[in-house]
Structure 1
């Protein structure tokens, strides 16, 4: 049986409690952060204003006139003890497909536009990501990145952005890429980038430092309410699973047209994700989870 250590709690001023499960990034620690914050939302405790899960921690904002810090700490300790076993961390979540045009002209253009901020200005971001991971062929890199699903460990800093961590791989198999030496001042909306072991889709034009490897054909953030699956504005939710699917320019343009007309439908499958089964069965569990998707 997998059991995680108790969480460290810190009071930040009169309105916040910060809970640190670990300083080490691991899916086990992230599963616990998501399970606890999900349970905290379910209990709907009066006085809690906001709940913000992160990779291996979470932050709770509360109204001290409605609930004391001591009482809230007791609630959190109770949930923490109940959610320290992986068997108690199952998540109702969804798998979402992200059609991606890898090594596209726009992200290549941005590679050269900001080459003075890059470790290797003679390479595009895509070529750099290939090189540092030992790939010599373009299609082999695309297959390696797109053949596995990614678990959203947290969202934040830009509205709609999600940190996607690869599932079912050993540390040696994970694609990892250093970020830019100095961040870009601009990144195109829907660009797909890798920073460290995380993949992210930039939801809007923004600064950024992830190495850009392609363009998502679909939005992950939309205030125009054009698509049925984006009525909540943001596509990502911590605990969701994204699967990047390689597409060519023809399919990319077709999907973009459907998005603009409001007729595009995301490929989504709702599942119950079991951290215990994942850590016990590994790749076999991922294959079972992804069946018929």
Structure 2
């Protein structure tokens, strides 16, 4: 089985308190998993002087106290840890795969897109129709099947609390559903809206502004301040870095049934724990992803 190493990480300072580590400039799954592995190692070591560690799509950021540890010494320390995580064969991580039921082309997000049609790149089309056109689909069901057929890796958290950037797995770049954002952001987006921007998919955790193309609405929350559901007992946020989310299309009837279970507090997510291997992913691609999905499709 062929092996390879990731490019050498580039370190730079951001003022007196930050070190920025760029693994690759373009988004690569193995780069993201390396960032996750390095930042986990940093947290586990609990290095004096480090106050925060943040993982991003293909990079990570470290905040430190220069009165406790010098930036030069910390960079040397980071390089040592970073080097040990440069071989994809050693980057296996334990993650969850969760099923996210979605009502595609639902009336709530359609109404929202109608209200802000003047800010859209093509006012003659709905957001979903626009995504179909941009990706060469003429049949709505084929588009939905393509979007929901593979899992999405949560590569970054941010913007609004609970927002998870999700990158498609198992597809070549030309096969990924991609779409430009709005010309000017909407001032209102329904909570649980599913949006596409670039090659990323997001679920809006709460009602607010947004500029991604809306293609449907999740039946389940990704943020629960009440922590009423069993899957939110440890935190109000569903997303974890490294999670895999698999979308499952549902119709109106099933959507409403799930919403009732959410209200009653009885809903449980369909999920499983898996060991994700970047090396297996690089060498086997979509076949490896299909193997991971066997018990959750």
What is the match of residue 286 of structure 2?
283
Instruction: Please say if 1:246 is aligned against 2:249.
Output: yes
What is the match of residue 69 of structure 1?
71
What is the match of residue 13 of structure 1?
15
Q: Select 1:222's aligned residue among 213, 221, 224.
A: 224
What is the match of residue 235 of structure 1?
238
Question: Mapping of 1:127-206 within 5 angstroms?
Answer: 127-206=129-208
| CA–CA separation in structure 2 for the residues paired with 1:99 and 1:47 | 43
| CA–CA separation in structure 2 for the residues paired with 1:16 and 1:153 | 21
| CA–CA separation in structure 1 for the residues paired with 2:68 and 2:223 | 34
| CA–CA separation in structure 1 for the residues paired with 2:214 and 2:166 | 14
| CA–CA separation in structure 1 for the residues paired with 2:232 and 2:82 | 32
What is the match of residue 266 of structure 2?
263
What is the match of residue 272 of structure 1?
275
Instruction: Please say if 1:3 is aligned against 2:11.
Output: no
Q: CA deviation at 1:47?
A: 2.3
Q: CA deviation at 1:48?
A: 1.7
Q: Select 2:112's aligned residue among 110, 113, 135.
A: 110
What is the match of residue 295 of structure 2?
292
Query: How many residues get paired?
Result: 293
| CA–CA separation in structure 2 for the residues paired with 1:48 and 1:228 | 33
* Runs (5+) with no aligned partner, structure 1: none
| CA–CA separation in structure 1 for the residues paired with 2:286 and 2:59 | 26
CA RMSD after TM alignment: 1.1
Q: CA deviation at 1:119?
A: 1.0
| CA–CA separation in structure 2 for the residues paired with 1:25 and 1:7 | 14
Q: CA deviation at 1:260?
A: 1.6
* Runs (5+) with no aligned partner, structure 2: none
| CA–CA separation in structure 2 for the residues paired with 1:209 and 1:224 | 28
| CA–CA separation in structure 1 for the residues paired with 2:217 and 2:6 | 38
Q: CA deviation at 1:64?
A: 2.5
| CA–CA separation in structure 2 for the residues paired with 1:210 and 1:13 | 32
| CA–CA separation in structure 2 for the residues paired with 1:200 and 1:172 | 20
TM-score by length of 1: 0.97
Q: After superposition, what is the alpha-carbon deviation per residue over 1:219-276, rounded to whole angstroms, capped at 9, x for unaligned?
A: 1111111112113111111111000000011111111111122111111101110000
Q: CA deviation at 1:57?
A: 0.9
Q: CA deviation at 1:14?
A: 2.2
Q: CA deviation at 1:13?
A: 2.1
| CA–CA separation in structure 2 for the residues paired with 1:131 and 1:289 | 30
TM-score by length of 2: 0.96
Q: After superposition, what is the alpha-carbon deviation per residue over 1:156-202, rounded to whole angstroms, capped at 9, x for unaligned?
A: 11100111111111112111111111111111100000001110000
Q: Select 1:91's aligned residue among 70, 90, 93.
A: 93
| CA–CA separation in structure 2 for the residues paired with 1:70 and 1:222 | 42
| CA–CA separation in structure 2 for the residues paired with 1:178 and 1:155 | 20
| CA–CA separation in structure 1 for the residues paired with 2:172 and 2:24 | 20
